[in-house]
Structure 1
Amino acid sequence: MNKTWKIVVISFVSVLLVCLIAAAIYINNIGYSNVKLMYELSKNSNVILKMETEGEYLTKANRHREVLKEKMKKEGWTFLHQEGAGYFFEKNGKETIITARQIWNRHYVVYKVTDRVVDLSS
């Protein structure tokens, strides 16, 4: 093998190794189960999926407000108002707050349900 091919092969292997290390760090930072949820959401963006942490749900950021309101309406909750990241709902005189926060990147939102009064997973 001449010198030029050795340089090309070593460069290719180096770039491949750097890409694998970057992917491993990304998956380790986010968590393997959350990467699976993100993959599921890429197939259907109008769903809310349950995360490993109790009372937390993941959804795509586009249309997340409408998806949350539709899901809560289906569960019998009435939307009252929004204050910042908190969405206030009422059902049978009982009030709950669902907070939304963007994570990892701007494409995903995590909902945290106060007192776990409703299961948002679709």
Structure 2
Amino acid sequence: MVKKKFIVVLAIFIFVIIFISPILFQEGNPIPIINAIIKLNSSDMNFVQISDNPDRYISKAGEGNDILIQYMDGEGWKFIEQNGSAYFFLKDNSELMVKSTKYTGKYIIWTWSD
């Protein structure tokens, strides 16, 4: 009887992992992202850096792209245009593209590309 319960619990666990893992691992290793989400939710910051190479940041999805444009303006970048999920900025004749990706519907991951 105990062996049967163990097999059922194991089967349910494997079934759940199969369906949840694509969501958790959509952006690679989820641990840095989870750490950034914890920092984001426990502070008043609008962006939290996830990684340096590539430069990736996370923000709450409900705040939209205005928060990105305000942040980049504060860093000296002028907003040029949005093309799909890509935002283009200009500073001292240098162009920067920032790509947005939804993460779990509650967050946006921003990737900086030169």
Relative to the length of structure 1, the TM-score reads 0.64
Higher RCO (CA < 8 A, seq sep 6+): 1
CA displacement at 1:69 relative to structure 2:
0.6
Question: Partner of 2:84 in structure 1?
Answer: 84
Relative to its length, the structure with more strand (as a share) is 2
Amino acid of the structure 1 residue aligned with 2:82:
Q
Q: 1:45 to 1:100 in 2, by over 3 A?
A: farther
**Helix, strand or coil at the partner of 1:32:** helix
Question: Partner of 2:37 in structure 1?
Answer: 38
Question: Partner of 1:47 in structure 2?
Answer: 46
Q: 1:62 to 1:41 in 2, by over 3 A?
A: same
CA displacement at 1:45 relative to structure 2:
6.1
Q: 1:82 to 1:45 in 2, by over 3 A?
A: farther
Q: 1:53 to 1:95 in 2, by over 3 A?
A: closer
Q: 1:109 to 1:78 in 2, by over 3 A?
A: same
Amino acid of the structure 1 residue aligned with 2:107:
Y
**Helix, strand or coil at the partner of 1:51:** strand
Which of the pair has more CA radius of gyration?
1
Q: CA RMSD in A?
A: 3.0
Amino acid of the structure 2 residue aligned with 1:47:
N
Q: Distance in 1 between matches of 2:76 and 2:112?
A: 15
Indicate yes or no: 2:63 matched with 1:63.
yes
CA displacement at 1:58 relative to structure 2:
1.1
Moved more, 73-82 or 48-57: 48-57
The percent of aligned pairs where both chains have the same amino acid is 21
- Extract unaligned runs of 5+ from structure 1: 1-9, 116-122
**Deviation per residue, 1:56-95 (Å, 9 max, x gap):** 1111111131111111101111101101000011111221
**Deviation per residue, 1:1-29 (Å, 9 max, x gap):** xxxxxxxxx9xxx7xxx6xx97xx77x74
